[in-house]
Chain A
Amino acid sequence: MSNLIEIRWHGRGGQGAKTASLLLADAAFNTGKYIQGFPEYGPERMGAPITAYNRISDTPITVHSNIYEPNYVVVVDDTLLDSVDVTAGLKPDGAIIINTTKDGDELKKSLKNYSGSIYKIDARKVSMETLGKYFPNTPMLAAVVKVSGIMSEEAFLEDMIGSFKHKFAKKPEVIEGNMKALEMALKEVTKV
């Protein structure tokens, strides 16, 4: 299963990392892939560190365990860099994508022995400019699609309109802002 892509999400309860992993699974599913999207449930409380996972493959996926050697890691909250070993098992040819305003040197220092690719995005800025509120998961979703190349940006955006229409059926006024957040995030994510 060399085409298998494994992604691990680190966030804090309430930031939507789980939702983002499910939306990513959705988008990949819609491009014809086999997918898994699942959170690692712990004591569920606002602000506690949480982990969520994605497997995306061209062939059926049978493994049912957490992901220990991901291709990509997404960090939705940079305060986790000090408390969680976010790069644990991350494949050397993979990448980590961090929501942060810290500069590259600071990030490298935080990530200690990690020598792989680092990408960053200021998801707060994207979210505040497009949604007027801090929902970091939408920008991070776009960022991981961009970095991993799981699907084309066009296919992703087209699919997400449908997903948001479904997800926000009861508050359609937020769909436009979320789409803008995705578009802006695709441009804002940069390699450190």
Chain B
Amino acid sequence: MGIRERLSGNEAAAIAMKQINPDVVAAFPITPSTEIPQYFSSFVSNGQVDTEFVAVESEHSAMSACIGAESAGARAMTATSANGLSLMWEMIYIASSLRLPIVMSLVNRAVSGPLNIHNDHSDAMGVRDAGWIMLFSETNQEAYDNLIMAHKIAEHKDVQLPLMVCQDGFITSHSIENIELLEDDVVKNFVGKYKPEHYLLNDKEPIAVGPLDLQAYLFEHKAQQAEAMRNAKKVIAEVAEEFEKISGRKYEFFEKYKLDDAELVVVCMNSTAGTTKAAIDELRAQGIKAGLLKIRMFRPFPAEEVAEVLKNAKAVAVLDKADSLNGCGGALFEDVVSGMYVSNIHVPTLSYVYGIGGRDTTVNEIKTVYTDLSKVVSSGSIDNPYRYLGLRK
């Protein structure tokens, strides 16, 4: 039986970690994810978990400690945001290339500068090519559920990659909302015991971790990493099916909201998807065929599947909460558009950069995107594909 609760997104993440009860948590506080290690450290001191909590002196050390622990054969977790993730940068790549299934709770925040503590996705987009599985969460519930599923995906023998669960800083991390928790033993049974194939503390099999890897092999190792990322798709789908059995909650690579017959479609991630649903409900009441494609699995990117579900749309808007500053659209836009192109699907598609540095995004603003899309459809012309939403003029 699910437990009806009300929690902030950070509390939800911390409780997921408590129920997972990993061997090691290493973290350094940074807004807006600080509460996660803060709550978790109280679980440690209260004896509610068996975890070795390592209060490190920087995020670089946090990821290094997770790498050390995971290499040794332990299950390791961390949490961070924005510049904390930036400081981990070097170790982020090492974690994935060493094929260590570390799980991170990333509470999305703008990367400085100038200094801004509020939500956007520039931190996550900075590591989109780092070889981590990336799951995005609309709500506290999804942040919790994605974390419960995380280890089963990351540790699967065909995957063995680190995984980060993203949620929006402050917007969900600091908002108290309804949530349904699973019982401790249900989570424990679901997550299972970590049984690494190769690990440093195995005295039967001495191994080296992270030695020199030059022209002869690095290419092949990178190809294996890429293969693991492709494999992750199947595993993410399988784990979601198992999760549905214990929770009743269904997760796919993406959520389709009133999408099947939609002519005008918004694609976005995290909390804005909820605001978009409210906008769609209002537009549908006026007879406008609006729909949403909410990306949950951003890495690996479900390119073919996205193209398939967008093929009947008349116009699409992709909302990026980070500006790639490349002059040609945000990261999610590029992935969606290239996915459609490769599948030979050509739907007029607009790029919107929005919500930078915590700029609030309202139902009415989302409705203006659908208005723009209907203009594209009626005029048959895109005019400027690279747009902003909510930018002050």
Contact = CB atoms under 8 A, between A and B. Distances in A.
B174 A36 contact: no
Contact of B176 (A35, A63, A66): A35
B275 A65 contact: yes
B304 interface: no
A36 B170 CA distance: 12
Nearest to B32: A41
Interface string A30-48: 0000111111010000000
B178 interface: yes
Given A62-B278, A63-B363, A36 B176 contact: yes
Contacts of A17: none
Most chain-A CB neighbours within 10 Å: which of B175, B362, B363? Answer: B175
B308 interface: no
A120 to B, nearest CB: 28
Contacts of A63: 274-275, 278, 363
Contact of B177 (A35, A41, A68): A35
A89 B129 CA distance: 43
B139 to A, nearest CB: 8
Interface in B268-292: 271-272, 274-275, 277-278
A25 B177 CA distance: 8
A41 B272 contact: no
A35 to B, nearest CB: 6
B266 to A, nearest CB: 14
Contacts of A68: 362
A96 interface: no
Contacts of A155: none
Interface in B101-116: none
B117 interface: yes
Given A41-B170, A62-B274, A36 B175 contact: yes
B168 interface: yes
B172 A64 contact: yes
Contacts of B233: none
Given A41-B118, A65-B361, A26 B275 contact: no
Interface string A48-72: 0000000000001111111010000
Contacts of A62: 274-275, 277-278
Nearest to A22: B176
A182 B79 CA distance: 38
Interface size range on A against B: 10 to 19
A37 B175 contact: yes
A88 B197 CA distance: 61
Contacts of A38: 170-171, 174-176
Interface string A7-26: 00000000000000010011
Given A64-B274, A65-B360, A39 B176 contact: no
A168 interface: no
Contact of A64 (B117, B171, B176, B178): B171
A166 B299 CA distance: 41
B230 interface: no
B6 interface: yes
B292 to A, nearest CB: 10
Contacts of A41: 117-118, 170, 174
A44 B117 CA distance: 11
B360 A25 contact: no
A66 B360 contact: yes
A37 B176 contact: yes
Contacts of A64: 168, 171-172, 175, 271-272, 274-275
Interface of B: 6, 117-118, 168, 170-172, 174-178, 271-272, 274-275, 277-278, 360-363
Interface of A: 22, 25-26, 29, 34-39, 41, 60-66, 68
Given A38-B176, A41-B174, A65-B275, 18 more contacts: A22-B176, A25-B176, A26-B176, A29-B6, A29-B178, A34-B178, A35-B176, A36-B176, A38-B174, A39-B174, A41-B117, A41-B118, A62-B275, A63-B278, A64-B175, A64-B272, A64-B275, A66-B360
